[in-house]
Amino acid sequence: MATNMMVVETERELSFAERLQLSSRREFLSTVVLSAGAMPLFAQQKSINPPQYSAKVMRPANVHDIAEVARRTVDPATFDYIEGGTEDEITLRHNVEAFQRVALRRRVMVDVSEIDTSLEYLGQQLQAPILLCPTTKNAIVPNGDRVSAQAAHATNTIYHVSNALGWIDELYQANQAPVWIGATLGHVTSRQAQGWARRHEEAGASALVVTVDHQYTPNRDRNIRNGYGNYAAGVLRPTTPSVTWDYLEWLRSGSKLPLILKGILTGEDAELAVEHGAAAISVSNHGGRAFDGAVPTLMALPEVVEAVGGRIPVLIDGGVRRGGDILKALALGATAVMLGRAYVYGLAAFGQVGVQRVVEMLTGELKVAMGLAGIPNLAAIDRSLVRLPWER
């Protein structure tokens, strides 16, 4: 009986409602098939994942989160040393705000199935336009400068450092040495400059960088309050006040390495840097740690780029916290950015892998920003990509 009822149920004519339900199901399945063919992102492009570390290293969503981990990891005075600027920290804030005020003019209907961030800088092939600034890190974590050098090697980026001679040979022997550039604030005599340049060339430096915006020790109020380092309120303490353009000739008499000037903020000084044979310059205000009230670096960048006129590479540092910031800097004419606080946050939070994570995170963010802006490679980035606050 049950069998006969089943046969009758199977063979009876479908009702209108049942035919409608079946038709809707077929249309849905057809739509899924067509949609899969119409979405090449899913069908053709695979996700590109960064290197993986422990869960605690991978948990922060961005550099700001990593900075918060650093704040909780080191003592308050050390974090103030990382985070702080000079005096009222106006330039420090304006560096970051300048990037926030610049808008990107994205383009659409561009094939961005492949994103290429590679470039050549001073004869070196890099995976991304990201370099590491010379910042003193041994006070933050033990052997911080050396640890950061190993991170630079792991991420194939260029490392600027002022005290490499004591340990760089050991990294060469361990095959952990990055491409590195010797950094200095200057010297009082030509003999000192010559000897410094010669020793760094012999040790394997690929170039020499002179930080030109630190003639006197600035007023770093946070450090003064905390008794951190050798800072004092209202004291005129010279660093290298006698350094002039002649200093470049002193260095050349001791080494044939390319010379980079860090701390250029005006078109006039950029033109003089080119005239005096600089191989590259960095638009920098020392991350707001030298002279409070100085022009934000992103604001100074167009003027410097115009003065240089493509004759030498132009770098920028100060205020970079996101991959989109890097894209904005490149659109305004920078060849690459130099990270300072961003990677020091990583060092303070997680050590070597923290530095690596910051570089890799910002590289990934840059690729995402390029893809969403319709930019497949660095050569496709130009001034039309950005709109400045005062432009309509």
DSSP string, 374-390: T--BGGG--GGGEE-TT
- What's the CA gap between 257 and 201, in Å, rounded? 7
**Is the distance from CB of 181 to CB of 160 less than 8 angstroms?**
yes
Please state the pTM of the whole predicted model: 0.88
Catalytic residue check, 286? yes
* Residues β-bridged to residue 175: none
pLDDT in 10s for each residue of the chain, 392 residues = 444 433 333 334 445 444 445 444 444 444 333 344 444 444 455 677 778 999 999 999 999 999 999 999 999 999 999 999 999 999 999 999 999 999 999 999 999 999 999 999 999 999 999 999 998 889 999 999 999 999 999 999 999 999 999 999 999 999 999 999 999 999 999 999 999 999 999 999 999 999 999 999 999 999 999 999 889 999 999 999 999 999 999 999 999 999 999 999 999 999 999 999 999 999 999 999 999 999 999 999 999 999 999 999 999 999 999 999 999 999 999 999 999 999 999 999 999 999 999 999 999 999 999 999 999 999 999 999 999 987 76
Looking at 136-189, list the stretches that DSSP marks H as alpha helix, in order from N- to C-terminal side: 144-154, 168-173
Catalytic residue selected from 94, 187, 200, 286:
286
Distances (CA, A) of 60 to 56, 57, 68, 361: 8, 7, 9, 10
Exposure class string for 151-169: b at 16+ Cβ within 10 A, else e: bbbbbbbbbbbbebbeebe
